[in-house]
Amino acid sequence: MSSGRGGRGRGAGGRGGQSSPAISRGGGGRSGGGRGGQGGGGRGGQGGGGRGGRGGGGRDGGRVDHPATQQFPSPTPQPTPVASRPPLETSAGASSSSSTTAALSQPEASSSRIEAQLEKTLVLQNVPPSSSKAMTVAKRPGYGTIGRKVVVRANHFLVQVEDKDLYHYDVSITPEVTSKKVCRDIIHQLAKMYKESHLGGRFLAYDGGKSVYVAGELPFVSKEFLIKLVRNDDAGSSQPKRKEREFKVTIKFASKPDLNHLQQFLHGRQRDAPQETIQVLDVVLRTTPSIHCTVVGRSFFSTEFGKPGELGNGVEYWRGYYQSLRPVQMGLSLNIDVSARSFYEPIYVTDYIAKHFNLRNLRTATDQDFRKIKKVLRGVKVALMCGEHARTYKITGISSEPVDRLM
């Protein structure tokens, strides 16, 4: 180190100069640098150099390169941040590379954070909607190796759907019928009478309301049919038949359900199951049992499934099954469960009251007994025998007046 008088170092880092390597031409000044030449950033100096030269040798010391600045490339000029920390003061001869490196690393760190955020945004923007993704199933970890293999039966049956066009037709019945059972009987009679002559041999899948679904197009856009219906009442086939009734049925083209979404789902190219199409197929599978069985919700009951069991008090149970079409990993599955439900015994109302309330003689019934009887029988359907015909009614109440006074 030269001991010359400290002058104002004429280094490369002048007023407002960049942080390039400072080479002082003066002699060794106080603490190794001239005014403003201390190792920190001076007035306007970016990343180091002040107004004077950065601490080097004095005027008599000759040209000296500071060890910390040798072989250090000049960085690209960076804009000064609005809010920056004050310059750090260092002692003479201290390395200025630490301050320069800190000044350079802050913009680089912030730029890397921005790039990372941009990459995340681009990834989120390029994600396709969930409906277009194929359904991915977790891989099976392995197979059992301990124990004995057994065969089990499941109440699920795989449904194969043919690639055919479905057609939806609107149905109107005149005069209007409120009973779904009667509506199904009317459409069933229509299919029997006109299947080959007017329906092109097509099977009609009827939902019991206003819609009919057909696998294939019918040979007309709109057509009217006259149906004469003669059906037995609910009391049984041994009872006299009802009077013949005539209905006008209009079938009109409505729409063509799209099965493409269902095929995409079955082949694993679509995650969401097309519920509307599945409901149409469910109507198709429920059409035939709805004609031959008693329908309660999604279940079917019939005495053909087994002899009714007696529950007592004028009530018996029928056997049946529950049916539902569901989407599963392998495609579509028809789920069937056994079921049972209580029904009234097909007996006279007076016999039912005697069994249910343990009353052998209705003449001895009190007002409290009649209130209980009225509560139990309200809404029950009964068959009224009128000569050769039987008509079905629903009980709305019980009168305490004798029949001869009501007639």
Q: Are 272 and 400 in the same domain?
A: no
**Residue 196 included in any domain:** yes
Q: Are 297 and 174 in the same domain?
A: yes
Q: Are 176 and 315 in the same domain?
A: yes
Q: Are 307 and 397 in the same domain?
A: no
Q: Residue 49: which residues within 8 A CB-CB, separation 6 or more?
A: 11, 12, 13, 14, 17, 18, 19, 20, 22, 41, 42, 96
pLDDT along the chain (407 residues), means of 10: 42 40 40 39 40 41 44 47 44 42 48 65 47 60 86 90 87 91 92 92 92 93 91 47 81 90 82 86 92 92 93 93 88 92 92 87 82 90 78 84 75
What local confidence, expressed as pLDDT, does residue 194 receive? 93
Q: Are 390 and 270 in the same domain?
A: no
DSSP letters spanning 215-246: ES--S-SEEEEEEEE----TT-TTSPPPPPEE
The residue range of the domain holding 386 is 358-405
Three-class SS of 312-365: ECCEEEEEEEEEEEEEECCEEEEEEEEEEEEEECCCCHHHHHHHHHCCCCHHHC
**Residue 56 included in any domain:** no
Q: Are 197 and 306 in the same domain?
A: yes
**Residue 100 included in any domain:** no
Q: Are 52 and 80 in contact (CB under 8 A)?
A: no
What local confidence, expressed as pLDDT, does residue 157 receive? 92
Integer Cα distance of 205 and 214 in angstroms: 6
Q: Are 291 and 204 in the same domain?
A: yes
What local confidence, expressed as pLDDT, does residue 109 receive? 54
**Residue 60 included in any domain:** no
Q: Are 333 and 366 in the same domain?
A: no
Q: Are 338 and 362 in the same domain?
A: no
Q: Are 159 and 325 in contact (CB under 8 A)?
A: yes
The residue type at 297? G
What local confidence, expressed as pLDDT, does residue 254 receive? 93
Integer Cα distance of 343 and 311 in angstroms: 10
**Residue 64 included in any domain:** no
What local confidence, expressed as pLDDT, does residue 245 receive? 87
What local confidence, expressed as pLDDT, does residue 142 receive? 83
Q: Are 204 and 261 in the same domain?
A: yes
What local confidence, expressed as pLDDT, does residue 121 receive? 53
Exposure class string for 293-312: b at 16+ Cβ within 10 A, else e: bbbeeebbbeeebeebeeee
What local confidence, expressed as pLDDT, does residue 366 receive? 84
What is the number of structural domains in the chain? Answer: 2
**Residue 84 included in any domain:** no
